[in-house]
Amino acid sequence: MNERAVIDCLDYTLLDHEASEAELAEFVARANSARVGAVCVFAKHAEQVKPLLDSGIILSVVVGGFPVGSQNLDEIGRDIRAAVGNHADEIDVVLEPRHAEDFPNEIELAKLTTMREAAGKAMLKVIIETPLLDERNMRAAARMTLAAGADFIKTCTGKRGPCSDEAAEIFAYEIMRHELTFKEKRGMKLSGGIRTSGDVVRLTNLVNAQDPSIISAGNSRFRIGASSVLDNLLNPK
Q: What is the pLDDT along the chain (237 residues), one digit of tens a residue?
A: 999 999 999 999 999 999 999 999 999 999 999 999 999 999 999 999 999 999 999 999 999 999 999 999 999 999 999 999 999 999 999 999 999 999 999 999 999 999 999 999 999 999 999 999 999 999 999 999 999 999 999 999 999 999 999 999 999 999 999 999 999 999 999 999 999 999 999 999 999 999 999 999 999 999 999 888 898 887 765
Please state, in angstroms and rounded to a whole number, the distance separating the CA atoms of residues 16 and 152.
23
Q: Which positions ≥6 away from 90 have C-beta within 8 Å?
A: 38, 58, 59, 60, 61, 122, 123, 124, 125
Q: Considering 8, 154, 199, 211, which one is annotated as catalytic?
A: 154
Which of 227, 153, 166 lies closest to 193 in space, CA to CA? 227
Q: Is 224 helix (H, G, I), strand (E, B) or coil?
A: strand
Domains of the chain: 3-232 (3.20.20.70)
Beta carbons of 37 and 8 less than 8 angstroms apart:
yes
Please state, in angstroms and rounded to a whole number, the distance separating the CA atoms of residues 170 and 173.
5
Q: Considering 151, 189, 199, 211, which one is annotated as catalytic?
A: 189
Q: Considering 89, 92, 199, 211, which one is annotated as catalytic?
A: 92
Q: Is 46 helix (H, G, I), strand (E, B) or coil?
A: helix
Cα radius of gyration (the chain) = 17
92 assigned to active site: yes
189 assigned to active site: yes
